[in-house]
Structure 1
Amino acid sequence: MGPDLLNYSIREPYGVCARILAYNHPILFASTKIGSAIAAGNSLILKPPVQAPLSAYRMMELLEDAFPPGVLNLITCGQPGSEALVSHPLVPRISLIGSAQTGRAIAATASQRLKHVSMELGGKNACIVYPEANIAEASAGAVAGMNLAICGQSCGSTSRLFIHQSVYDEVLKKVAAGMSTFQPGEPTDPSTLMGCLISMDHRGRVERMVADAVSAGARVVIGGAAPNDPNFTKRPYYMPTILADVTADMDIAQQEVFGPVLSVIRWQDEEELFAAVNSVEYGLTASIWTQDLSQAHRAAQRVDSGFVWINRTSSHFPGVSFGGFKQSGLGKEESLEELLSFTREKVITVAL
């Protein structure tokens, strides 16, 4: 800068920030998404999901005396309220966890005031099994990657399973056996391993997507319907479902189901594999299974996703950035990058 100048930069809070949350992890999102914005010096407005707001209410009761008035706030509303929040001139920083469709709508509204927006959106994530994989571990990983405890309602679920031709039948059999152990049950029963979908409307969407896939040539290996148990038939439960004989261009392999539906795709040529893996509009996570470390690193670089596991799936690690590419979002969460994103950098130059 020269002998007569001092230059330094500082980070300042935005002021009022808003975080709009999804329904699939209501208390997890409500509790873990407040720290970065407030630690950076902002006040925060939380908007929990209209489908599941009660845990956020309870959290606010417990935190009543933890912050000065006005620092942590909660509103519940539908789409009109969300639009008012996003467009408000005194809310310059917006964060969303939700669908790509909602993300595009919020980005369009926020762009009218050039607001800073970060988003964790949907995913149509790939689980890739190489012939060099430990078959038992890869099969168990494919099951775990479906996040069946919450009925597959996870943006990070690896709902497309790409199995190499040479191990296809073996892996498919093991995955079917593993997913079959998850049976819908009452949420108050400690033995329950799998919950329900968010609503009957959403179950209807899942049913239509599975029916369309079968009409297009997919084969139901397990599931494919609501439970036969009359206690669950008229409630938003859906059986763990595996669809085999899926091709990468089918809607079921392109669109996020957000349910317990695993699409299984056979592969043989690696070039064709990555063309299929990267053909979707999403790029959130991927899981790669092989005991060949060079092969694993090469595959991880070729997958167009923001968060990749090798011989693992579904894990998040405190301090490690999580976020996607393409229609899966903007920005990173769960890390220093998240904290800094709730600040503005100001550069100051002083003549001495």
Structure 2
Amino acid sequence: MNITLKQYINGNWVDAKSGETRDIINPYNQEVVANVPEGNAEDTKAAIQAARDTFDQGDWPSTPATERGAIVRRIAELIERDREELARLESLDTGKTVEESRGDMDDIAGVFRYYAEVADKDGGELIASPIPNSTSKVVYEPIGVCGQITPWNYPLLQASWKLAPAIATGNTLIMKPSEITPLTTIKVFELMEEAGVPAGAANLVLGAGATVGAELSSSMDVDLISFTGGLATGKKIMQAASSNMKKLALELGGKNPNVIFADADFELAVDQAMNGVFFHAGQICSAGTRLIVEESIHDKLVDALVERVKKFNIGNGFDDSTQMGPLISAEHLAKVEKYVETGVKEGATLAVGGSRPDDPELQDGFFYLPTIFTNCTTDMHIVQEEAFGPIITVETFKTEEEAVTLANDSIYGLAGGVFTTDAVKAERCAAGMRMGTVWINEFNLYFPHAPWGGYKQSGIGRELGRLGLEEYTEAKHVFQNLKPEPLNWF
């Protein structure tokens, strides 16, 4: 398979102005699966102008919310119709198992359905006025032109978290997917066109963050940037966005603790510890890569994890028996290898993994064995930094207070988990953990109704839920004096 695709600007499918292109490869075997335009600042400016004109001069922002909701609902229906094709493209793009990609498509359709249902449910509010014979109300209006930048690990899922609320609230947008995983985003723009999103309201520019993303972030004609990705890039976007004081929604990753008490359901804790890390080879911002385990069950838990890890089936995401696919690229594989090397140098004990697999059939792909480190301390790079790979670090604690302290010992605050059969203790820990999401006896569960985002350097703002909708609106206070009289002050 090698298909040629285009970007979408002002209702037209176009090549890059420069004529440059990029090959998209399958991480499983480095086969070229598609060729796409390599957009740059000129393409981005054209998309921004289309979005600006559509918002400022078109009817889209004033389209009734019920009509916008119907379009968002139609997008959900089309995603469900084309579920298999989208799942196949997502697995070709990312290397993840096709079964996981199918689940992603169900979640993505659910996100669009949720925002379709809430699109017309908030007509503003009347508030008490201190002035007799007057009215005072708050209305919510679309913010304007939105730049949306998505990562490579969950290309369409992360796109849906941005596209659905932006369209539902009447904004116009320019989306820049990761340059290495654009296939499903291109496909969903085809579905959005089919669903009736008007020309200019949604634009797609393909290209590198250093060009396309930088232009979106610094443009005086963009009103909001929604970005999911790394902390260093997020800081650059914040600086660039100061050009016109853009509104920002930033999800910048995490180093997420999973606290396991001795009184936890042991088999559940083991299962969830695995699920919390090894989906998509650990390339998940919410992965529970920091196991913080009560000292008395440390050896038993590690032995159980190692036993299960050794039975992993690693391979082609299109093989039904595969449990974990490859990493995304050669560059990222080298980064993960460097973190493991650093962990060993810093004194952590390698309990299992720590290398590429020796299976000859996997040598063309970017595979890395699931890896567990024990004897870890919070001053180690592998404990503090986001390796974004199939790596678990294990720390121990003796008291509840120590567990919470360890969990919070991070610049990040995206998510965390607590496993215990003591409900009161679980609530105490959840209250003490400085994170945007805390799971109790669960890990990595999310759904469209609940907000997603982090504390500290995990970002600014929230996606999903009503808070995710509010990111795309401005609140306006409208006051009317029904019986105006002159003040005669001057």
Partner of 1:322: 452
Write the mapping of 1:75-86 to structure 2, written as runs, cut at 5 A.
Answer: 75-78=205-208, 79-86=210-217
TM-score, scaled to structure 2: 0.70
Identity between Structure 1 and Structure 2 (%): 36
Residue in structure 1 matching 2:249, options 118, 139, 143: 118
Write the mapping of 1:235-250 to structure 2, written as runs, cut at 5 A.
Answer: 235-250=365-380
TM superposition shift of 1:235: 2.4
Residue in structure 2 matching 1:303, options 425, 433, 436: 433
On the 8 A contact 2:219/2:243 being kept in 1, the answer is: no
Deviation per CA, 1:106-144, whole angstroms, max 9, x where unpaired?
111112311100111111000001111111111111111
Unaligned runs of 5+ in 1: none
Partner of 2:314: 184
Write the mapping of 1:87-98 to structure 2, written as runs, cut at 5 A.
Answer: 87-98=218-229
Deviation per CA, 1:16-72, whole angstroms, max 9, x where unpaired?
111100100112223343110111110121111011111211222233232111111
On the 8 A contact 1:9/1:345 being kept in 2, the answer is: yes
What is the DSSP-based 3-state SS (H/G/I as helix, E as strand, rest coil) of the residue aligned with 1:81?
helix
Write the distance in 2 (CA, Å) between the matches of 1:55 and 1:7: 45
Deviation per CA, 1:83-112, whole angstroms, max 9, x where unpaired?
111111111011011011111111111123
On the 8 A contact 1:85/1:91 being kept in 2, the answer is: yes
On the 8 A contact 1:183/1:240 being kept in 2, the answer is: no
On the 8 A contact 1:31/1:59 being kept in 2, the answer is: no
Write the distance in 2 (CA, Å) between the matches of 1:138 and 1:36: 35
Deviation per CA, 1:140-165, whole angstroms, max 9, x where unpaired?
1111110x231100000000001111
Residue in structure 2 matching 1:145, options 267, 272, 276: 276
What is the DSSP-based 3-state SS (H/G/I as helix, E as strand, rest coil) of the residue aligned with 2:185?
helix
1:13 aligns with 2:147: no
Write the mapping of 1:149-298 to structure 2, written as runs, cut at 5 A.
Answer: 149-298=279-428
Partner of 2:231: 100
Look up the equivalent residue of 1:28 and give its one-letter code: L
TM superposition shift of 1:234: 4.2
Greater Rg over alpha carbons, structure:
2
Write the distance in 2 (CA, Å) between the matches of 1:111 and 1:178: 49
Look up the equivalent residue of 1:23 and give its one-letter code: W
Look up the equivalent residue of 1:110 and give its one-letter code: A
Deviation per CA, 1:290-330, whole angstroms, max 9, x where unpaired?
00111100111111111000000110022111111011111
Write the distance in 2 (CA, Å) between the matches of 1:304 and 1:34: 28
Partner of 1:45: 174
Shifted more, 80-89 versus 231-240: the winner is 231-240
TM superposition shift of 1:173: 1.4
On the 8 A contact 2:162/2:463 being kept in 1, the answer is: no
Deviation per CA, 1:238-296, whole angstroms, max 9, x where unpaired?
11000111111111100001000000112113333322221110000001000011110
Write the distance in 2 (CA, Å) between the matches of 1:317 and 1:282: 22
Write the distance in 1 (CA, Å) between the matches of 2:308 and 2:446: 22
What is the DSSP-based 3-state SS (H/G/I as helix, E as strand, rest coil) of the residue aligned with 1:34?
helix
1:23 aligns with 2:147: no
Q: Comparing both structures, which one devotes a greater share of its residues to helix?
A: 2
What is the DSSP-based 3-state SS (H/G/I as helix, E as strand, rest coil) of the residue aligned with 1:90?
coil
User: Higher relative contact order by CA 8 Å / sep ≥ 6: 1 or 2?
Assistant: 1
Write the distance in 1 (CA, Å) between the matches of 2:309 and 2:424: 30
Write the distance in 2 (CA, Å) between the matches of 1:318 and 1:212: 38
Unaligned runs of 5+ in 2: 1-129, 483-490
Partner of 2:443: 313
Write the distance in 1 (CA, Å) between the matches of 2:139 and 2:411: 37
Aligned residues: 351
Look up the equivalent residue of 1:114 and give its one-letter code: M
Look up the equivalent residue of 1:295 and give its one-letter code: K
What is the DSSP-based 3-state SS (H/G/I as helix, E as strand, rest coil) of the residue aligned with 2:358?
coil
Write the distance in 1 (CA, Å) between the matches of 2:335 and 2:269: 29
What is the DSSP-based 3-state SS (H/G/I as helix, E as strand, rest coil) of the residue aligned with 2:194?
coil
Look up the equivalent residue of 1:242 and give its one-letter code: I
Write the distance in 1 (CA, Å) between the matches of 2:138 and 2:406: 45
